[in-house]
Structure 1
Amino acid sequence: MDWNTSIKDYSLYLRLERGMSDNTLEAYIRDVRKLKDFLLLIESTEKPNTLTRDDIMQFMMYLNKEFFLATSSQARILSSLKSFFLYLNETDQTENNPVELIEAPRLPKKLPDTLEVEEIDNLIAAINHTTYEGRRNHAIIEVLYGCGLRVSELINLTLDCLYFEEGFIKVVGKGDKERFVPIGEEAIHQVDLYLQNDRHTKTPKKGSESILFLNRRGAKLTRVMIFTIVKRLAEEIQLGKNISPHTFRHSFASHMVEGGADLRAVQEMLGHESITTTEIYTHLNKDYLQQVVTEFHPRVN
C-alpha cells in the first residue's frame, strides 16, 4: 500500500460516497498530505497501514513545534486523520487505526454571533429601495433571515423552488440533499415584489435562466457579492458587529429556539445532519430560562 494510491482512493470516496464539497474535501486531503510529507521529512518508510499511535503523536508534536497550531487546527487535523484511517479500516486496507485512541484537544465553546430583530430592521431600513439592487437585496435579507439559509443555498435558489401557495421553498443543501423550508409572509412579499417589478427587467445570462437572484448583468450572484451586500449595510448603520450572511442563519436559529421552537424542527429547517450541531442555539438568556421554569414547572407557582 503506497501513500499516493491511498490518498487518491480516499479522495474519490469523500467525493462520491460522502458527497463532500470541494473545499471540505481539499481540507481533508491537505491534512493527510501533511502527515505523508512529515514522514518523508524524517525519512520514514512507514506506509498508511503500518503507522502507530506514536507516529501520529510525533507528527502532532512536530506541527505544534514548527507552526504553533491553534487548538482548533489540532482538532481539525486529528479529525481528518481519523476519517482517513476509518476509511482504510472500512475498505480492509488495514486493521490498524493509530488515531483512534488519541484524544483531540478540547475546543472552547464559541457561540455564534447573532443579530437582534431591531438590528435586522435597521439593516433593511438602510437599503436604497429606489434601485434594482436595493429591492433585490431586501428580498435577499428577508430570505436569509426568514429561512435560515446558507449563502450557497441562497445563490442557487431557482424559480421552480418557490412554493409560495404552500408557504415553502425547496432548498438544495450540502451533499445535494433537498429539504423544504417554511417561508414567512414578509419574505414571500419581498420576493414577489422583486419578481413582478425587477427580475424580468434583466436578461439572464446562459446558465442563469432559472436562478432567482440575478445581478444587474443577468448573472447568478456569487458568495462574495452576498458578503459585500451585508458588510456594506452593516457599515451604513455603523452596526459595530462583524457580521456575515451566515449571521442571519445564526439569528434565525437562535430566535426560533428562544421563542420555544422544537429543536428537531429547527434542525430540519437548517438541514443539520446531527442534532448536536443545532444544540449550540440553546444558549438562551437567563431571563428566558427563568420565564420557562416559572411558566411550566409545577412546583414554582
Structure 2
Amino acid sequence: MPDGELTRQLDRYLRHLAIERGLSANTVAAYRRDLGAFLAALADRGVADAAALDAETARAYVVGLRERETPLSAASTARVISSIRGFTRFLVEEGVIVRDPAEQLAPPKLPKRLPKALSIDQVQALLEATDGDDPVRLRDKALLELLYATGARVSEAVALDVDDLVGADGTAELIRVVGKGDKQRIVPVGSFARAAVEAYLVRSRPLLATGGSSTPALFLGARGARLSRQNAWLVIRAAADRAQLGVDVSPHSLRHSFATHLLQGGADVRVVQELLGHASVATTQLYTHVTIDGLRDVYQQAHPRAR
C-alpha cells in the first residue's frame, strides 16, 4: 500500500471500524483489501492526499473495475463501492475533506438472492456422515449438530468457549453466542446436539487438548488449539462429500436450513430473528420467501383447482 496522507487516514478508519463500530477482524480485513487496492490505484494516478480525491477519480476507479480483463461481479462491485463510500464519509465526518467525492457512486442493482436450505433428509444425511467414535469424528458430529440446532454462523461456533455452554450439571441446554458487533444472544440447544456435545466433551476434547496448551475453546483442532473457521468449513465440506447430497453445501447451509425448517414448522419470524441474531427482521423475512415457495408447490400439487 502506498505511503501518504490517504494511507494514514485509512489506518485511522480501520481502527474506527474495529474499535468504535466493533466489526470483526474478518470484516475489517475485507475493508483493508478493498480500500488498499483503491488507494494503490489512486497512487498510480498521482493522488496521495485526501484533498486531491474528487468524484471523477472515484467514478473512474469503479468503471475500471467493470471494464478490466476479468471484471468484478456485480456483488463484488457493490461491496467495493460500499467500502469506498464508508471511507469517504468518514473523511467528511472527521473534517479531513469538505465534500464527499463518492456520494454519487451508485452500486449496481443486485438480484435478490434467496438463501438455499437443505431438506430435512439432506441435513439428516449430512449429520450421519459424521458418525464415528474417534476423537475427530466426535468433534465433527458435535460441531455440525450444534450448527444445525442453533443456527450459529461457523465463525460464531468456532469462537465458542466451554464456558459458553449453559445448563444444569454441565449439560449444554443453552449456549451463549457472540455475534456481529459483539452482540450476545442465548440460544437453546436441542437434545441431539446436546448429546453430541456432551459425548465430545467427555470422550474427544480431553484427547485433543493433550496435543497443545490449555485453551478455553470449545472446539479444538488436532494440535489442541482452537479450531479455525477455515478448518471448520473443511469439516462441513468433507461431510457433504461423504453424504453425496448432490447439491452445493456452503458454510451457511446449516444456518439457512435451521431458519427455514423453523419457519416451516410454524415458528414466529421474530423468534427466528432473535435466534439468528439478525439486527433487522427484514433479513430474516428472506427465509419466509423460501417457505412460501414450498407452500405454493404443495398447494399446486394437492389442490384440485390449483392446476
Instruction: Report the TM range for the smaller structure's normalisation.
Output: 0.7 to 0.9
Structure-to-structure mapping, 1:33-112, within 5 angstroms: 33-44=36-47, 47-49=49-51, 51-67=53-69, 68-112=71-115
The question of whether the paired residues in 2 share the 8 Å contact of 1:50 and 1:96 is answered with no
Deviation at 1:83, TM superposition (A): 0.5
Whole-angstrom distance in 2 between the partners of 1:156 and 1:15: 17
- Residue 114 of structure 1 pairs with residue 117 of structure 2: yes
- Residue 178 of structure 1 pairs with residue 184 of structure 2: yes
The question of whether the paired residues in 1 share the 8 Å contact of 2:136 and 2:204 is answered with no
Structure-to-structure mapping, 1:134-283, within 5 angstroms: 134-165=137-168, 167-204=173-210, 205-208=212-215, 210-283=216-289
- Residue 285 of structure 1 pairs with residue 287 of structure 2: no
Deviations 1:89-108 (A, max 9, x none): 22222231122233211012
Deviation at 1:291, TM superposition (A): 8.5
Further displaced range: 194-203 or 249-258: 194-203
Whole-angstrom distance in 2 between the partners of 1:2 and 1:183: 50
Amino acid at match of 2:66: N
Whole-angstrom distance in 2 between the partners of 1:126 and 1:19: 37
Further displaced range: 22-31 or 238-247: 22-31
Instruction: Return closer, same or farther for 1:86/1:262 CA change in 2, 3 Å cut-off.
Output: farther
Deviations 1:78-97 (A, max 9, x none): 10011012212222222311
Q: Secondary structure at the match of 1:170?
A: strand
The question of whether the paired residues in 1 share the 8 Å contact of 2:178 and 2:184 is answered with yes
Q: Matched residue pairs, number?
A: 290
Amino acid at match of 2:78: A
When the two structures are superposed, what TM-score results if normalisation uses the length of structure 2? Answer: 0.84
Instruction: Return closer, same or farther for 1:85/1:274 CA change in 2, 3 Å cut-off.
Output: farther
Amino acid at match of 2:213: K
Q: Which runs of 5+ in 1 are unaligned?
A: 293-301
Whole-angstrom distance in 1 between the partners of 2:288 and 2:43: 46
The question of whether the paired residues in 2 share the 8 Å contact of 1:49 and 1:96 is answered with no
Taking only aligned residues, the RMSD between alpha carbons, in angstroms, comes to 2.6
Amino acid at match of 1:161: D
Instruction: Return closer, same or farther for 1:35/1:120 CA change in 2, 3 Å cut-off.
Output: closer
Q: Secondary structure at the match of 2:177?
A: strand
The question of whether the paired residues in 2 share the 8 Å contact of 1:78 and 1:104 is answered with yes
Instruction: Return closer, same or farther for 1:37/1:119 CA change in 2, 3 Å cut-off.
Output: same
Instruction: Return closer, same or farther for 1:66/1:126 CA change in 2, 3 Å cut-off.
Output: closer
Whole-angstrom distance in 2 between the partners of 1:258 and 1:271: 19
Amino acid at match of 1:288: L
Instruction: Return closer, same or farther for 1:52/1:276 CA change in 2, 3 Å cut-off.
Output: farther
Amino acid at match of 1:65: E
When the two structures are superposed, what TM-score results if normalisation uses the length of structure 1? Answer: 0.85
The question of whether the paired residues in 1 share the 8 Å contact of 2:131 and 2:141 is answered with no
Instruction: Return closer, same or farther for 1:122/1:3 CA change in 2, 3 Å cut-off.
Output: same
Deviations 1:240-267 (A, max 9, x none): 1221332111111122223332223222
Q: Secondary structure at the match of 2:68?
A: helix
Whole-angstrom distance in 2 between the partners of 1:84 and 1:233: 40
Whole-angstrom distance in 2 between the partners of 1:227 and 1:198: 19
Q: Secondary structure at the match of 2:252?
A: helix
